[in-house]
Amino acid sequence: MAERKQGGQDNGVGVGVVTQVKPKTQKPSLYRVLILNDDYTPMEFVVYVLERYFNKSREDATLIMLQIHQHGIGVCGVFTYEVAETKVAQVIDTARRNQHPLQCTMEKD
């Protein structure tokens, strides 16, 4: 973190109070992308989505898919707002193009 000497002008003795300066950059808010269970989307399609859009290995994708299947909802990843929004749109678009009712949403982390 940056530092500055408080008090403006040198008083001639060379002593000043050093204070911390708060950085002006802010960390972006993060959003969880969630996939929901349904009775119709094939398990293999959900595994494919997790591999294709969330860079999961087949093993991790299968575990996440089963977590969703058993508990109703699961986290696919955490992203900045615009990336999360894009992922949600891509998942819903690919599901609809394949005529699956798969639901995907996002919430603040």
Write out the residues near ligand TYC by the rule CB under 6 A.
35-39, 41-43, 46, 65, 68-69, 102
Nearest approach in angstroms of CB 1 to ligand TYC is 43
What totals of helices (H) and strands (E) does the chain contain, helices first? 3, 5
Nearest approach in angstroms of CB 107 to ligand TYC is 16
- Strands 17-20, 3-6: pairing is antiparallel
Angle at the Cα of 93 from the Cα atoms of 50 and 82, rounded to 5 degrees = 75
In the bound state with ligand TYC, the residue whose beta carbon lies nearer, of 67 and 85, is 67
Give the tokens for residue 5.
Answer: 């000497």
CA–CA separation, 102 vs 4, rounded Å?
Answer: 54
Nearest approach in angstroms of CB 108 to ligand TYC is 21
Nearest approach in angstroms of CB 84 to ligand TYC is 17
In the bound state with ligand TYC, the residue whose beta carbon lies nearer, of 33 and 35, is 35
Other C-beta atoms closer than 10 Å to the C-beta of 2 total: 8
In the bound state with ligand TYC, the residue whose beta carbon lies nearer, of 85 and 103, is 103
